[in-house]
């Protein structure tokens, strides 16, 4: 797919992987929807950085766990540009709880995490299905996690939700072709403020040091390296659908 003038919705794009993806797409000529649920100022900063490079941007406040918000975001996109070519389901949430602390999670935690990480992604695909199919060569990329492959991560509910997202990627790929390719990226440890705040700085620093010492590539992900792989599923891999790609410097091999 040629991204020049393509219309791309990136959920959860006010920071981190979503922001990096939006900027990278805009640099290739795409028109980008910046989505956020809480951080208005951060979303505005991302939008301003894209406009500064001459890109076109639409900022949409929406909570993807709410179906009406998903429908509204797609409607606003169509009102502005009349099409949708790419959907990146990056919006996600979690709760940092040790896996052995079963009392640290309850049903409401699972429902909140699944509501964004799984149901939200489904609702976005459903809302955008018609314009994506009309595009003729559309791509959906779901941002899952190594947590969904290995059963690790910030909590049991998060790992389970990302495993569900990987399964849903396969299910949707079967029914949305040939017009829409659906794939997923599964990042490992992503360097940045989100994990540092959730883990605490000391644990975060130890984790990075361990991964850089032990993994075959002696590195961890950054928002930009994850964005590179997201774009590869969009503008390359034309015969690939229903797949997930682990991005972890070889952590899965340990």
Q: Among 148, 166, 160, which residue's Cα sits nearest to residue 252?
A: 148
For every residue of 100-119, DSSP letters joined together read T-GGG--HHHHHHHHIIIII
Indicate the SS3 state at residue 36: strand
Bridge partners for 33 per DSSP: 9, 58
- 130 cis-preceded (ω within 30 degrees of 0): no
CA angle 147, 148, 153 (to 5 degrees): 20
DSSP H or E run through 238: none
The dihedral region occupied by 69, where left means phi > 0, alpha psi between -120 and 50, and beta the remainder, is alpha
Is 158 a residue of the active site? yes
Q: Specify burial of residue 192 (Cβ count, 10 A radius: 0-12, 13-18, 19+).
A: middle
Q: Which of 36, 114, 158, 204 is catalytic?
A: 158
Active-site amino acid positions: 158
């Amino acid at each position: 797919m040629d991204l020049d003038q393509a219309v791309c919705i990136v959920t959860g794009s006010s920071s981190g992987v979503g922001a990096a993806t939006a900027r990278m797409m805009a640099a290739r000529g795409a028109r980008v929807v910046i989505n956020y649920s809480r951080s208005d100022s951060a979303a505005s900063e991302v939008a301003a950085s894209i406009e500064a490079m001459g890109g076109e941007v639409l900022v949409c406040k929406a909570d993807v766990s709410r179906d009406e918000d998903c429908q509204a975001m797609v409607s606003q996109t169509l009102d502005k540009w009349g099409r949708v070519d790419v959907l990146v389901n990056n919006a996600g949430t979690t709760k940092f709880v040790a896996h052995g602390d079963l009392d640290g999670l309850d049903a409401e935690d699972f429902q909140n995490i699944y509501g964004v990480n799984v149901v939200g992604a489904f609702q976005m695909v459903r809302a955008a299905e018609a314009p994506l199919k009309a595009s003729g060569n559309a791509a959906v990329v779901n941002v899952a996690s190594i947590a969904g492959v290995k059963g690790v991560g910030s909590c049991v509910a998060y790992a389970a939700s990302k495993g569900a997202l990987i399964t849903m990627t396969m299910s949707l790929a079967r029914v949305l072709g040939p017009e829409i390719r659906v794939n997923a990226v599964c990042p490992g440890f992503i360097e940045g403020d989100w994990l540092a705040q959730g883990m605490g700085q000391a644990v975060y620093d130890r984790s990075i040091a361990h991964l850089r010492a032990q993994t075959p590539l002696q590195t961890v992900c950054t928002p930009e390296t994850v964005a590179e792989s997201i774009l590869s599923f969009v503008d390359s891999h034309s015969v690939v659908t229903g797949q997930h790609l682990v991005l972890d410097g070889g952590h899965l091999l340990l």
